[in-house]
Structure 1
Amino acid sequence: MNTPGDRRQALRQSTTLNGIDFIRVDATQTKLEVHFLNPVPGRNQLRSTVKDPRISGGDAIPTVPVRPITDADWSQNPGEPPVLTLRVPAPGDFSQYTLSLGGELLDPFFSRATFSFKANCDSRLDCEQPPEECALELPPPPPIDYLAKDFASFRKALSDFSAQRHPEWQERSEADFGVMFLESLSSLADDLSYLQDRIAAEASLDTATQRRSLVRHARLVDYEPRPIMTAQAWLWLEVTKSGPLPAGLPVSALGPDGERIDFETGRGLADTQTYPVDPRWNPGKLEPYAWDDSERCLPAGATELWLQGDGLGLFAEQWLLIDTEPRTGGNESIRALVRLTEIQEGSDPLFGDTKLTRVSWRAEDALARDHDLTRTHVRGNLVPVTQGRRFRESFIVEGAPSGERQSALVRTGLNGTPQVLFPLAQAPLAWHPSSEDADSPAQPELSVVRQDEDPPEPWSWQRSLLDAGSFETVFTVDPIRYRPVGLRHPDGTVSMDYDGDGETLRFGDGVFGEMPDEGAVFEVTYRTSVGAAGNVAADSITLVDPNGPLGEWATQAGNPFPAEGGADAESAESVRRLAPEAFRARRLNAVRPEDYDAAAESLPWVQRAGTVARYTGSWHTVFTAVDPLGSEVLAPEQHLELAILLGRRRIAGHEVYTSAPRYVSLDLEVFVCARPEAFQGDVEEAVLEVLSDKRLRNGRTGFFHVDRFSFGTPLERSVLEKEIQLAHGVAGVRDVRYRRRGFTAGLVALPETLTVGTDEILRVDNNPSRPERGSIKVIVEGGK
């Protein structure tokens, strides 16, 4: 059987047949030179038989017409094949066209040829078309088990494949190389399958288990999972010498399991200030002074106290502890922390000019409960303490470690840039709330200083390096851990790999944060925390090491109040539940009246807010009034803060107007029956006390205290009579009459529920100097 290559050679040897050899297109693309294979002598005979030229096969131009053939279109040099010149009105497109010629002297196979009108266009591609080859017959693909996910199933799948493709190989010995290679591939596939499952699990918030994945998913919706927060407390000291006490001195407490819980003086790792201490402020040195036996009670709301002696060295802004021991058989100490504003020395001339010192403190530190001066002691030497234990490490970037200095972990990051990492050896890292803004994320108890600079250069922490400039010396903390794997290299470095949750410092890449230079030496100081276990009870932080740094200063210590603020890291379940809803938890716009109320109540000094929206004739106006906590008067700075807050959240086109609340003043007449053994004056005094707007001596508040009623709070007669019944000597309530000042002239019976408007607040101050704020008149019947 002849092949296509043999046919061309056979046609060249023929004396009767001819065929097309190739086609050449000129520069105008309108003239085609058709070259034939054989230089046949019968040119006239060939000229008379070639006819019907057709050009077809185009894409945009399917066919191209050819002008009729004339004798002038033929040419032939002596001893060479003839050439036929064809002309077309216009060139074709970029497709491959086929020229077909009819004629008896043309071989059927070589009577047509493919060409391109654009053959003369510049191109770096080979114009010769590769020969067509038939596709090889492949064996049928083996069946694929897509449920194969472990070593055994992969081994079975490869065994079935080898039996189908290589039936002659039947070796199954475990020592055979083929079997060993098969099992090695199965093991590798098992590892890759596990890695795929882990990556797929970490790609979703619902299935992620690694802390790093949870944090990154949560940050996509602006939710910052809570890290381990460190606890803080106040500590009193019994010191042996005076002077500035530095921060960072260790003290500890015993936990429920007997483990030591470490604390340090100061408000955190960044606290470098000193705290004044003096033996004159030790326990038992500052004792209160009562001018008379009738003044042995320091009442609630007090802001000053007399102390025995002078020359005590007290100063403004100093913290003092007022500690009242429990009564005999009691178990509760009454303690208050106050910050001094004024110190004044004096004397008692009646008892031999007894030296005294009067101390005053801030109004916000006013005593909340009564203190019995016969059981009260005053203590100084107060310092804050923070839970945690301090560690210090040093590392070098891309250098050989030496001594205690480690080598940083350098990996290839995005775009091929080096990524400098340093995993902390101790965990978990302590975090504390930001002192500037309560809504800002927590900050780590961490200090990073570059030591090879002169002077040493501190680097600052940033939550995300995406917010850093290319020259900012910052770093961030990733919740991941790396551990050494393998043997130590000859240069002293150790290979490290990912090992789950922990803390690792990550530096910038030169685009987002500055990249540390090669050979840079850093020193890292950080503190670890026990989280919620650091919230120890009062009087628990008492362990002072006499041989430690604090032992040089103090012999005894104690925390008057429980430590607070410590918290464990937020659980994965909590992150999954709260992160998707975090952006809805705090709205930054206000549409409905309740939205304005919620925005106003977010201020710490607002007890409750009331909002009414009205159309004023020109535009919509929102009127918001607030009930300030512990006061009836809105300070100018509070009014401004409220107006700015609501102005940022209002709807465009709506005006916001903030105003003071509307108070409803009531005049009450209360008719009570006294017990037979009670004096009428005592009963009247007791009723006025329980219905007052003051804070009572037992720590409770009077019925008409400013914080008890807010916008729209009604007056329930049953609740009022219940409070009156609790007064000393009251046998019963006969009647209660009322009058709304400014609305009604006479008093009428108090209904079961006295309602007020949503922007109104009930007020009964019973202050004779301010009768317009309401009054109470008690009529006692019976008794003595």
Structure 2
Amino acid sequence: MICRDDRRREAVRQKPGLNGLDYIEVEEIVVGDKKQPLLRVYLLGKFQGVVNKENVRIDGGVRVKGLVATHVKPVRGSRKDEDDVLEITVNQWGDFSTYTLHVVKGDEYNRPGTEPLPGFDPLYAKVDFVFRGAAPTSPVCASIQEARALREEPEINYLAKDYASFRQLIFDRLATIAPAWQERHAPDLGLMLVEVLAYIGDQLSYYQDAVATEAYLHTARQRISVRRHLRLIDYALHDGCNARAWVCIETADDMPLWPGEVYFVSDTNQTMTGRNVVMSGRDMDEVPSNQYEVFEPIEDRPIHLYTAHNCINFYTWDHRVCSLPAGATSATLRDEDKGGERALKQLRAGDVLILEEVKGPRTGHMADADPQHRHAVRLAKVTPGCDELHAQPVVHIEWDREDALRFPLVISAIGDAPCCELINDVTVARGNVVLVDHGRTVTEQEAWIVPAQNEPTACEGEGQPADTAVQAAPFHPVLTHGPVTQAVPFPDTGTIARHQARVIDQIIRDLRLRVVEIWRAVQQRKQEADERNVAGLSVGEMATLTAIFDEELLADLNIRSGSEATTHATKTLKKLLLREGRLLLPSSSRQSVSSGRSVFAHKMQRLFALRERAYSGYCLTERDAQEVGALFDPQYSEWLKPNNPLLYGSAQHAIPQDVNGSTRGAIRKDISAALPSLTIKEEHEGKDQDGKEWRPRRDLLNSRREDRHVVVEVDDREVAHVRFGNGDLGRRVEPGVAMKATYRIGNGTRGNVVAEAISHLVYRSATVSGSSVLRVRNPFRAQGGSDPESIATAKLKAPASLRSHLERAVAAEDYARLAERNPKVQRAAAELRWAQGWYEVRVFIDPLHGLVLEDGLRDELTRSLHAYRRIGHEVVVLPARYVPLEIALTVTLHPHQLRDHVREELRAVLGNGVLPHGRKGFFHPDLLTFGESIYLSRLVAVAQAVPGVRNIEVTQFQRVGLSSDKGIREGVLPVGLFEIARLDNDPNSPEFGTLAMTLEGGR
């Protein structure tokens, strides 16, 4: 008999004079030179009697039997609640079977008997135990007798999978067990039961087939199943992405726009022609929803519109026929003085301007303007100025190199003959630019109520019912509308972190500049002062130094202001710069101030720590920004706040764009980072609960149990299913809670509308009054919209993605491939070298569009590779090893060819520049990379193709400084794995390669 509760055990413990055996532990002891087993028998409480070896009998065993106790020793528990123990020594070890130890009375021959020893409960006078763990056994088949004893079953057709086959299978079975039943009429009850069972079997069979089909990646057909399978191999099946666009707004008066109250619509099909630019939600109800696409502002902060920013002209400083060249990163705008205030006073760093060609440079007509000559830039610096010659207010603007012009923009030009008139303002700048993305915000009409369920009632014991737990029932709500908008978060936290690190470098330079300016001002005052005056520090200068350093440090250097100013202020400030100025350099690090004990050293150490954190990709919070402002200057806090538009990155990165059709030079959003635009808020009595918002994540593997995260899975019908956490990975929903979902709909390539398609501003309110908006337009086409990835494509790409995507750098080649991910790197090569205690990874870089490895790119690569490096590897980024060449040619020309013309053409095609038609010279840096040897045949073929060349003879083909004709004899100049050939043919730098040509013939 097996019982779950054992109350008798506790009763034996409590009854005085009664005891029993609880359990046995087997130990090993050494007696002399022999190892023997020791049985530690634990009793039920304190034992008052005596147990000798003749009172112990051990039964059982398969191969080893007849075990005998040789010695019994009682061990009393030291504490009142500690049970007594009997230590019993046995004559030999047992086998792997189960033995039973009995406590019995001895017989007349002092041998163990069969009756329980007095003082022991009969049920607890024995206990089972084993000497060793279970022995390894191999599976064996049942014996022949057992097999014969099995009841023979009739043959069953296991291929039956549908209704008809199951029906026939049941008929065949009934024919063997109930042969008398022959009824086959439809009203028969037996026939009805057979068909019901066949129907249920058909449904179960279909369910089994569906489960088996979705259990494997190569057979799964449901999108959600494939998505989960691919997640196991770290491949993200994306559900598409929405499009983004820049929208320009022209207004008659200065006015604000609140993003939550307005949205923009496209009119691609011209269904809203003749309607006002500004419309209301009621007006949009009259337009079919399939005739337009909705775009909403990405940022939540208020949008301020200014009339002066509608159209801004460039200032040319009295020059004529001007243009902004390709690669330009600055310009000057014409400002106006209106009633003592500047018209462009609200133009600030972080704003986006659209540089647009509005007139044809040859005709001056607006219809002849090239719509491709439009470029978006995010201002990095805005400096008001004035042209003193004409008392003309101007504004000098600068933008990031990532926003550099990709084509020249004409500002003023001379028109066609016969008028040949000057055409001004060919290109203008437009402000009031808003970044929008595709998608319309909707809210579920009814709140979701999390269903509750009671756990099955259980009993902890007799008369002890367990508490009933109320938990949430399975809750998988579905969004009513679709398709759900999938959007890449903007601004990207990695981009913000990278720019925050640059801002900290700028803060360090600004701090040093302030100290240097104070030193120069004091030095200037000292030169202008006479012997009776003292050139000391002003109160403001002293306050600036105190904010940067600390009073103790300044007092230690005897730096004071006012009447206490010292005549040696210049020397003390110079000493301050020499002593502490080394910390005010962007090249400094946290290790360089680790030995400093001053308050200033601790402040800089904290600043360097924040910079390292930002460079590692972690976005600094608003609290971190306030800390920097408290340490030095409150304005630095505004520089570092994550909502500062200066930290959002370039305007070109905000919208994906193809550059000349090249995918390598394209700026693309990472579609795999797109998340559903969904917010779920908990409600109580119809009101939102602050702080109780659920946000979407791609999965819940990194979610903690208190995180309100959800996963949105889109099926094959574009229906979104919401999945919550289970209490371990993500927070579990609480039963009875009301939830309201707000999300956006609109996704994929439908949002890639053409330029000038977005033409209307819509207020969500029923009526509109007092709007000053004159025009709405998108100068560029909307881009970035992508349809969901198909299941077939994902199954094809997923297995290869495991080998194509590097997550760690182990070998030298891994470092090179990771460095090539940077768009500024053309090629990279790496090698491992032992550096007396660790390995040094030398990564050689071939920059794109140049030969010089800039310090900024070097630092960026070093930091990015540090995140992938192997422990024990030190990464060192170095420029490529360039191999300068010396080449001499003797060129024979055809008669009547001009030597100078042919010489210039040969220098161009064999040079390192760009030819007039966009072709690159033979030695252009972008055409040569690591390990590419220079073949003589290719060089001769390129030169021979120049018009007028009759014959070419190579007289010198070698490395600079190595006189050898081996290259001419073998027809190739070999280049090492970490070397790049170079020939600049610059007379000022002959060490970078020379090309000598001797021309014969011609004229």
Q: Which moved more, 1:674-683 or 1:453-462?
A: 674-683
In structure 1, what is the equivalent of residue 48 of structure 2? none
Corresponding residue for residue 265 of structure 2? 251
Residue 266 of structure 1 is matched in structure 2 by 297
Q: 2:183 matched to 1:145? A: no
Match of 1:479 among 690, 714, 725: 714
Q: TM-score, normalised by structure 1?
A: 0.68
Amino acid at match of 1:174: A
Q: Distance in 1 between matches of 2:266 and 2:918?
A: 33
Corresponding residue for residue 740 of structure 2:
523
Instruction: For 2:319, give the aligned amino acid.
Output: D
2:910 & 2:255 partners in 1: Cα distance?
A: 50
Contact 1:432-1:443 within 8 A present in 2 as well: yes
Q: Say yes or no: does 1:429 pair with 2:484.
A: yes
The DSSP-based 3-state class of the residue aligned with 1:179 is helix
Correspondence 1:31-42 to 2 at 5 A: none
Cα shift at 1:290:
7.4
Counterpart-to-counterpart distance in 1, 2:154 and 2:319: 104
* Secondary structure of 1:505's aligned partner: strand
Q: Give how far 1:123 is off.
A: 8.7
Q: Name the CA shift for 1:742/1:214 in 2 (closer, same or farther; >3 Å).
A: same
Deviation at 1:759, TM superposition (A): 1.2
CA deviation profile, 1:125-169 (whole Å, cap 9, x unmatched)? xxxxxxxxxxxx999755422111111111122222233322332
Cα deviation for residue 191 of structure 1 reads 0.9
Partner of 2:355: 322
Question: 683, 693, 699: which is aligned to 1:458?
Answer: 693
Aligned to 1:444: 676
Partner of 2:374: 335
Matched, 1:379 2:410: no
Question: Which residue does the alignment assign to 1:299?
Answer: 325
Q: Residues 726-765 of structure 1 correspond to what in structure 2 (within 5 A)?
A: 742-744=960-962, 753-765=972-984
Q: Percent identity?
A: 30
Q: Which amino acid counterpart does residue 366 of structure 1 have in structure 2?
A: A
Correspondence 1:227-626 to 2 at 5 A: 227-247=239-259, 249-252=263-266, 254=268, 259-260=290-291, 262-267=293-298, 271-283=299-311, 285-286=312-313, 289=316, 291-293=318-320, 295-310=321-336, 311-313=342-344, 314-324=347-357, 333-340=372-379, 341-347=381-387, 349=389, 356-373=394-411, 374=413, 375-393=426-444, 404-408=446-450, 418-434=473-489, 435-436=492-493, 441-452=673-684, 455=690, 457-479=692-714, 502-537=719-754, 539=755, 541-544=757-760, 552=771, 554-613=773-832, 622-626=841-845
Counterpart check, 1:199 vs 2:207 = no
Measure, in 1, the Cα distance between the counterparts of 2:876 and 2:943: 40
Would the alpha carbon gap of residues 517 and 630 (structure 1) be closer, same or farther in structure 2, given more than 3 Å must change? Answer: same
SS in 1 for 2:882: strand
C-alpha distance in structure 2 between counterparts of 1:317 and 1:731, whole Å = 55
SS in structure 2 opposite 1:455?
strand
What CA distance in whole angstroms lies between the structure 2 residues aligned with 1:723 and 1:288? Answer: 45
Aligned-pair distance for 1:196? 0.8
**Quick one: distance in 2 between partners of 1:317 and 1:694?**
35
Tell me which amino acid in the other structure corresponds to 2:743: Y
Secondary structure at 1:603 match in 2? coil
Shift of residue 381, structure 1, vs aligned partner: 2.6
Aligned to 2:123: 122
Secondary structure, in 3 states, of the residue corresponding to 2:758?
Answer: coil
Kindly indicate whether the alpha-carbon contact (under 8 Å) linking 2:944 and 2:952 is maintained by their aligned counterparts in 1.
no
Provide the C-alpha distance between the structure 2 equivalents of 1:413 and 1:441, rounded to a whole number of angstroms: 39
Alignment root-mean-square deviation, CA: 4.8
Q: Identify the residue that residue 927 of structure 2 maps to in structure 1.
A: 708
The reply to whether residue 222 of structure 1 matches residue 441 of structure 2 is no
Note closer, same or farther for the CA distance 1:161–1:741 as it changes in structure 2 (3 Å cut).
closer
Q: Deviations over 1:450-503 (max 9, x none)?
A: 34355353333333334333323332223359xxxxxxxxxxxxxxxxxx7622
Gap runs ≥5 in structure 2: 1-19, 21-58, 67-97, 102-113, 126-148, 272-288, 337-341, 363-367, 414-425, 457-468, 495-669
The count of residues paired between Structure 1 and Structure 2 equals 634
Task: Please tell me the residue identity of whatever aligns with 1:743.
Answer: G
Superimposed CA distance per residue, residues 329-386 of structure 1 (whole angstroms, 9 cap, x where no aligned partner):
997723322233234444484xx66665443332332222233334434333322221
Q: In structure 2, how many angstroms separate the alpha carbons of the residues matched to 1:407 and 1:780?
A: 90
Residues 51-66 of structure 1 aligned to structure 2 (within 5 Å): 60=62
Alpha-carbon contact 2:887-2:956 (below 8 Å) kept? yes
1:360 to 1:624, Cα distance in 2 relative to 1, 3 A: closer
Cα contact 1:94–1:117 (8 A) shared by 2 = no
Q: 2:168 matched to 1:156?
A: yes
Q: By how many angstroms is 1:215 displaced?
A: 1.6
Q: What letter corresponds to residue 483 of structure 2 in structure 1?
A: P
User: Equivalents in 1 of 2:394, 2:945: separation in Å?
Assistant: 41
Q: In the superposition, relative to structure 1, how do residues 63 and 509 fare at CA in structure 2: closer, same or farther (>3 Å)?
A: closer
Higher helix proportion: 2
**Structure 2 counterpart of 1:380, which letter?**
G
Secondary structure class of the residue paired with 1:305: strand
Output the CA distance in 2 between the equivalents of 1:519 and 1:417.
8
SS of residue matched to 1:228: coil
| Structure with larger RCO (C-alpha < 8 A, sep 6+) | 2
Alpha-carbon offset, residue 433 of structure 1: 3.0
Structure 1's 347 and 431: CA in aligned 2 closer, same or farther, altered over 3 A? same
The residue type paired with residue 503 of structure 1 is A
Q: Could you tell me whether the CA contact under 8 Å between 1:228 and 1:428 is conserved in 2?
A: no
Structure of higher CA gyration radius: 1
| Number of the residue aligned with 2:201 | 189
- Residue 594 of structure 1 aligns to a residue whose secondary structure is helix
Distance 1:672 1:60, change over 3 A: closer
| Distance change in 2, residues 1:566/1:410 (3 Å) | farther
Residues 166, 198 of structure 2: 8 Å contact kept: yes
The 3 A distance-change label for structure 1 pair 588 and 555 is same
In the TM superposition, what is the alpha-carbon distance from 1:192 to its structure 2 partner? Answer: 0.9
Distance 1:174 1:667 in 2: 102
| Cα separation, 1, equivalents of 2:1001 and 2:393 | 51
- Relative to structure 2, which stretch is displaced further, 219-228 or 636-645? 636-645
8 Å CA contact 2:239–2:787 kept in 1: the answer is: yes
| Counterpart Cα distance in 2 of 1:719 and 1:541 | 50
Letter in 1 for 2:438: Q
Q: Which residue identity does 1:171 align to in structure 2?
A: E
Cα drift, residue 672 of structure 1: 7.1
Tell me if the contact between 1:763 and 1:774 (Cα under 8 Å) persists in the aligned partners. Answer: yes
1:567 Cα shift? 1.8
